[in-house]
Amino acid sequence: MKAGSLDFFSPGLYELSMSGQKKAVFLDRDGTIIENSGCIGSIDEVIMFTEAFDALKRLQNHYELFVVTNQSGIGKGFNTAEEVAAVNAFIDSVLRDNGIIIKEWYVCPHDSPDNCECKKPKPYFLNKARDEYGIDLKSSWVIGDHPHDIEFAENGGAKGLYVLTGHGVRHLDELPPDVQVFHNLTEAAARILGSGNESKDNNYCSIEEAANFLRSGGLVAFPTETVYGLGADVFNPGAAARIFELKGRPLFNPLIAHISDMEMLDRLVSDIGETALRLAEAFWPGPLTIVFNKRESVPDIVTGGSPTVAVRMPSHPMALELIRRAGTAVAAPSANAFGRTSPTTAAHVVEQLGSLGYKIIDGGACRVGVESTVLSLVHEQPMLLRPGGLAAEDIEKITGPLALAEKPQIKGLESPGMLASHYSPLTPFVLKNPPAEANDDEKTGLLLFEPAEIESAGPVEILSRRGSTEDAAVNLYAAMRRLDRLGLERIIAYRLPERGLGKAVNDRMKKAATPAEPSA
């Protein structure tokens, strides 16, 4: 698959339809506008994503809407073309009742696998829409939950956005790193409409603008694979100070220096050491932060006065490109208000920090979804300071057994991210051990690891439909936020098994559950 250029996603570009032709959004059906429930042969099996209707209505003010759906069940004999047509007609009528008009339904039955109409790399249906309706594909978008959807978008010259609903979270590993990912259709639609960059303060910007702004002492919120960061030039103490101000973060809590190559590490750290080199080789770029003894030149404000500095090379292509273009390491904590849930989309950042005092790059949803693992190499034995996006088991394959940091006190913390309360939703949050119990209170929301056979009168969020701790990490903060917005009286969350990223997710849920510490 061709990797698109990064500035391709600069907000505002889609507005330019050079030819003045009509623009379209091509929607995948299963997993994007309805739940992916296998080969659906009857309308009883349809679960519509009704919460996305408003977004579709906003989209159709600017774009023609098409559905493109590959129904391989027909080719395989699981259902018939007639059944699929009846299901599509039903979905179409529900959309219509809600004021949403689909211009045309394109269905490929996949009945001749070697010579299918839709077969890659032919963007068959996109070309059909171009020819039949005069659609300008260059100003059009495809939204889908499978890497194929992105591939045929690119082959047709359109832009592809990937959603984590349906099978999206399952195929995330197969997706090229520069494809933008969204938690659901609503978020993807907002990205297309550039809702953020129409905000009156217009703080959304391209990577190049952001890099210039960083160099001149400005603050930039940017996507990483874990969560969004709020960054400043690491060697500009005044700029770093403004991060603490904007977040309302206590000054003793040090920042992570984000680098794009090993030369930048040299400028921060004098003695890198064998273990760090092996860890960097194995896990950078990626969700691992390493604490080193710092060089004199690294400002105290970045390290909270400590002689050590935390460094990470993120893997998000937009983060790497930003740091590269800025030409300096970028000091950044997560871009949340202090003590609140870490943001995994640009909209989450603006929700918490407002839109003044910094610029922001919109890179969609974060693929890992929890913060990096923090590992200190300044002691004799490597020490795990914060479980995170890289499983401790993976690190131990290289380092041998890790020491665990002592339970922290507020003063003299080994790593202040270990403060008991952090990552909090506003709704009271209760953490329990599984199995999940039935809930008869509609003011109580449930946050479950995996599907459970229980009744609930209130809303339920499921972190992974297949019991994967990685899926759970990707979905955790977005699910917490969705529940948090419903005006509930409490959220009951259930612990994950402690394997893989389960430890990191449990750690964040535990912090969300503890009453807030007075912020010293």
Q: Which residue is it, tokens 């970028």?
A: 330
In whole angstroms, how close is the CB of 164 to ligand TXA at the nearest point? 18
In whole angstroms, how close is the CB of 371 to ligand TXA at the nearest point? 4
Strand partners, 256: 310, 332
Helices 317-326, 207-215: inter-axial angle, 10-degree rounding: 40
User: Of residues 195, 328, 334, 439, which one binds Mg ion by CB under 5 A?
Assistant: 334
Q: Name which of 323 and 496 has its Cβ closer to ligand TXA.
A: 323
From CA 31, how far away is CA 42, in angstroms rounded? 16
In whole angstroms, how close is the CB of 100 to ligand TXA at the nearest point? 37
**140 contact choice in Mg ion, ligand TXA, none (CB below 5 to 8 Å, kind-dependent):** none
Q: Name which of 383 and 491 has its Cβ closer to ligand TXA.
A: 383
Residue nearest to ligand TXA (CB): 417
**206 contact choice in ligand TXA, Mg ion, none (CB below 5 to 8 Å, kind-dependent):** none
Per-residue x/- marks for Mg ion, 276-315, CB under 5 A? ----------------------------------------
In whole angstroms, how close is the CB of 342 to Mg ion at the nearest point? 5
**Beta carbons of 11 and 204 less than 8 angstroms apart:** yes
Cβ density class 133-145: b for 16+ within 10 Å, e for less:
eebbbbbbbbbbb
Using CB under 6 A as the criterion, which residues of the chain lie in contact with ligand TXA when the complex forms?
Answer: 224, 226-227, 229, 253-256, 287, 289, 291, 303, 306, 308-310, 312, 314, 332-334, 371-372, 374, 385-386, 415-417
From CA 204, how far away is CA 373, in angstroms rounded? 29
In whole angstroms, how close is the CB of 115 to ligand TXA at the nearest point? 47
Both tokens of 249, joined, read: 């973060």
Q: Name which of 224 and 468 has its Cβ closer to ligand TXA.
A: 224
For residue 515, what are the CA distances in angstroms to 333, 424, 427?
22, 9, 11
**Beta carbons of 373 and 382 less than 8 angstroms apart:** no
**Beta carbons of 431 and 495 less than 8 angstroms apart:** yes
Stretch that binds Mg ion, among 53-61, 89-97, 181-189, 330-338 (CB under 5 A): 330-338
Both tokens of 330, joined, read: 């970028």
Q: Name which of 165 and 334 has its Cβ closer to Mg ion.
A: 334
In whole angstroms, how close is the CB of 127 to ligand TXA at the nearest point? 41
Stretch that binds Mg ion, among 42-50, 125-133, 231-239, 333-341 (CB under 5 A): 333-341
CA 434 to chain centre: 26
Q: Name which of 40 and 291 has its Cβ closer to ligand TXA.
A: 291
In whole angstroms, how close is the CB of 70 to Mg ion at the nearest point? 41
Nearest to 370 by CA among 248, 231, 479: 479
Q: Name which of 218 and 417 has its Cβ closer to Mg ion.
A: 417
**256 contact choice in Mg ion, ligand TXA, none (CB below 5 to 8 Å, kind-dependent):** ligand TXA
Q: Name which of 336 and 456 has its Cβ closer to ligand TXA.
A: 336
From CA 386, how far away is CA 418, in angstroms rounded? 7
In whole angstroms, how close is the CB of 247 to Mg ion at the nearest point? 8
Both tokens of 350, joined, read: 């603006």
What long-range pairs does 381-384 form, CB within 8 A, spacing at least 24? Answer: 382/275, 383/414
Q: Name which of 109 and 287 has its Cβ closer to ligand TXA.
A: 287
In whole angstroms, how close is the CB of 317 to ligand TXA at the nearest point? 15
Q: Name which of 24 and 476 has its Cβ closer to Mg ion.
A: 476
How wide is the angle at C-alpha 507 spanned by C-alphas 501 and 510, nearest 5°? 140
Stretch that binds Mg ion, among 52-60, 198-206, 259-267, 327-335 (CB under 5 A): 327-335
Neighbours of 295 (CB within 10 A): 13
- Cis geometry, peptide bond prior to residue 121 (ω within 30 degrees of 0): yes
Stretch that binds Mg ion, among 158-166, 238-246, 326-334, 372-380 (CB under 5 A): 326-334
From CA 139, how far away is CA 25, in angstroms rounded? 9
Q: By the criterion CB under 5 A, which residues form the site for Mg ion?
A: 334
